[in-house]
């Protein structure tokens, strides 16, 4: 799993298809059952994908998760409150990575840039960092996260 996958794992812990990992012991399936009980207006269930049959409760949980947006801003704000750190995760990729307890070194950010196909100069860390933050927020939004428009690229 790459750095972006690590970010997904921290924000969508063990229950998001972007993690590319099955939850251990199926434990996260139980918390997903409660939100599933209330019908979501104007949303259709996604077609079953490989590995899901739609008949077993455990198999249906990942498909249901696709329809449920995770409020990224709320998750990160709560993480910051719990950490007690003063981090500007809304604009800084370094602070976002620190908040998620991930490596925020220049080398790690260069790896993330390569993973996200950054075409600029990785030695211009200021420009790269701005681009990375916007790309990460956009990727979170594209993969089931509710991200305010002003945080996306």
Tell me which residue has tokens 């970010």. Answer: 7
Rounded CA-CA distance 133/125 in Å is 12
Q: Which of 92, 100, 93 is nearest to 76 (CA)?
A: 100
Work out the angle at residue 106's Cα, subtended by the Cα atoms of residues 7 and 74, and round it to the nearest 5 degrees: 30
93 contacts 136 by C-beta, under 8 angstroms: yes
Q: What is the pLDDT of residue 26?
A: 35
pLDDT, residue 11, reads 95
Q: Give the contacts of 31 (CB within 8 A, at least 6 positions apart).
A: none
The per-residue pLDDT for 15 is: 58
pLDDT confidence of residue 67: 54
Question: For the purposes of burial, counting CB atoms within 10 Å of the CB of 56, is it exposed (0-12), middle (13-18) or buried (19 or more)?
Answer: exposed
pLDDT value for 14: 65
**What does DSSP assign to residue 17?**
G
Query: Quick one: pLDDT at residue 28?
Result: 34
Residues of the chain with pLDDT under 70: 1, 14-67
Whole-structure pTM value = 0.67
């Amino acid at each position: 799993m790459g750095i972006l996958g690590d970010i997904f794992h921290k924000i969508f812990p063990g229950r998001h298809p972007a993690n590319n990992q099955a939850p251990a012991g199926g434990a996260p399936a139980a918390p997903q059952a409660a939100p599933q009980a209330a019908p979501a207006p104007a949303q259709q269930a996604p077609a079953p994908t490989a590995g899901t049959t739609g008949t077993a409760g455990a198999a249906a949980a990942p498909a249901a998760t696709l329809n449920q947006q995770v409020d990224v801003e709320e998750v990160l704000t709560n993480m910051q409150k719990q950490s007690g750190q003063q981090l500007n995760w809304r604009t800084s990729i370094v602070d976002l990575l620190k908040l998620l307890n991930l490596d925020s070194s220049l080398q790690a950010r260069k790896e993330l840039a390569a993973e996200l196909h950054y075409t600029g100069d990785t030695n211009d860390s200021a420009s790269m960092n701005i681009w990375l933050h916007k790309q990460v927020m956009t990727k979170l939004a594209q993969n089931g996260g509710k991200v305010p428009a002003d945080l996306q690229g």
